[in-house]
Chain A
Amino acid sequence: MVEFSGIKEIIKPENLVYKKTNIMTENILSYCPGCGHGTAHRILAEIIDEEGLQSEAIGVSPVGCSVFLYYYLDIDWQEAAHGRAPAVATAIKRLFPEKFVFTYQGDGDLAAIGTAETIHACNRGENILIIFINNGIYGMTGGQMAPTTLPGMKSSTSPYGRDVKTMGYPLKMTDIVASLPGSYYVTRQSVHTPANVKKTKKAIRKAVNYQKLNKGTCLIEIVSNCPSGWKMTPVQSNKWMEENMFPYYPLGDLKTPEE
């Protein structure tokens, strides 16, 4: 392993502040440089590690950029057909009620082809956690327009920008889920700055603990960037996301359980 280190005298086990958790495998992530998926994976792995859920957790991986998620987290996985992750997770949770079951989906998976599955799983109040990565584009297939693409945003299938007259308005999936009686905890976060990473980690920890109560579906939307799909550098894309995505998808809790 090639390493580059700072001051050697400080590098001792007792001074360790932060290290990649062992739940993350040594496989190199297949994502583009600067993609929010990697950060989201890492904090999810940290929560699973810190809550001691490695043998309890069963994940359902989607179709999309994060299709190879089962290579990166060392827990039990099930691959689902495109968009059908909440349906598969429903079955797993009903067969193994004591396990922690979650799905990890992108916006093309959850908000386009899997809209029906998502809404009905949340409406039934299945005791699963849905992690929803929203980057406003179909990243894996080359940056086509997704239901979550912003008005006027250019993509490879809307080269003059999304025209809301012919292509409709962006779908706020998280707001729809928050209005359903079956959902228990619904929040929207991001992972582009250290402060937001900490907030997202807190939200995931909360959701994991709510799952133990069996009160309903938890959904965490993570507004993320897609440097390759948006044709920007990672740092530019994070700035663009702050300026354009956040006004339309404001961060914060949409539904919190009444204490």
Chain B
Amino acid sequence: MAKIRGSIVVNVERCKGCEVCMVSCPTGTIAMAKDVNGKGYNYAFPANPELCIGCANCAMVCPDGVITVYKTKI
């Protein structure tokens, strides 16, 4: 059976660390970084990239349009 794999790209400087994407992610791919960006926010990043299924839930709820989503079948 073909497996669906996804990948996200986070624009770190735009992220405000609101954690809404982390809560909406069904697979627990996203976590908040310990480092901060230029504005002092703990930005979101794909902590477990192998779990991503490319559902784009995170990008849908992101208030700042930070996340770009890619998806493929392998």
Say if A and B assemble together: yes
Contact with A along B1-38 (1 / 0, CB 8 A): 00001111111111011111001100001000100010
Beta-carbon contact of B18 and A34 below 8 Å: yes
The distance in angstroms between the C-alpha atoms of A244 and B54, with both chains bound, is 32
Stretch at the interface among A15-23, A140-148, A171-179, A204-212: A15-23
- Is A90 an interface position by the 8 A CB rule? no
Contact with A along B39-61 (1 / 0, CB 8 A): 00101011001101010110111
B-contacting residues, A26-63, CB 8 Å: 28-29, 31-39, 42
Q: How far is the CB of A106 from chain B (nearest CB, A)?
A: 15
Stretch at the interface among A5-13, A118-126, A251-259: A5-13
- Is A247 an interface position by the 8 A CB rule? no
The distance in angstroms between the C-alpha atoms of A33 and B14, with both chains bound, is 11
Beta-carbon contact of B65 and A42 below 8 Å: yes
Contacting residues, chain A, for B56 (C-beta < 8 A):
17-18, 194
- Is A193 an interface position by the 8 A CB rule? yes
Q: Which residue of the partner chain A has the closest CB to B14?
A: A28
Given the interface contacts A2-B12, A39-B61, A42-B65, does A7 sit within 8 Å of B7 by beta carbon? yes
Chain B, interface residues (CB within 8 Å), range: 35 or more
The distance in angstroms between the C-alpha atoms of A31 and B41, with both chains bound, is 14
Chain A, interface residues (CB within 8 Å), range: 35 or more
Contacting residues, chain B, for A95 (C-beta < 8 A):
none
Given the interface contacts A18-B69, A235-B19, A235-B20, does A2 sit within 8 Å of B61 by beta carbon? no
- Is A238 an interface position by the 8 A CB rule? yes
- Is A1 an interface position by the 8 A CB rule? yes
Residues of B within 8 A of A (CB): 5-14, 16-20, 23-24, 29, 33, 37, 41, 43, 45-46, 49-50, 52, 54, 56-57, 59-72
The distance in angstroms between the C-alpha atoms of A32 and B66, with both chains bound, is 15
Task: Find B70's partner among A17, A198, A234, A235 (CB 8 Å cutoff).
Answer: A17
Beta-carbon contact of A10 and B20 below 8 Å: no
**Listed A/B pairs (21) with beta-carbon separation below 8 Å:** A2-B11, A4-B9, A4-B12, A6-B8, A6-B9, A8-B7, A10-B54, A10-B71, A12-B72, A17-B56, A29-B63, A33-B18, A33-B41, A34-B16, A34-B19, A34-B20, A42-B62, A192-B61, A194-B24, A194-B56, A194-B57
Contacting residues, chain A, for B67 (C-beta < 8 A):
18
The distance in angstroms between the C-alpha atoms of A1 and B66, with both chains bound, is 12
Task: Find B8's partner among A5, A29, A42 (CB 8 Å cutoff).
Answer: A5
The distance in angstroms between the C-alpha atoms of A34 and B62, with both chains bound, is 8
Task: Find A238's partner among B10, B20, B54 (CB 8 Å cutoff).
Answer: B20
Contacting residues, chain A, for B65 (C-beta < 8 A):
20, 24, 38, 42
Contacting residues, chain B, for A234 (C-beta < 8 A):
18-20
- Is A153 an interface position by the 8 A CB rule? no
Given the interface contacts A2-B37, A10-B5, A42-B65, does A18 sit within 8 Å of B24 by beta carbon? no
The distance in angstroms between the C-alpha atoms of A238 and B22, with both chains bound, is 13
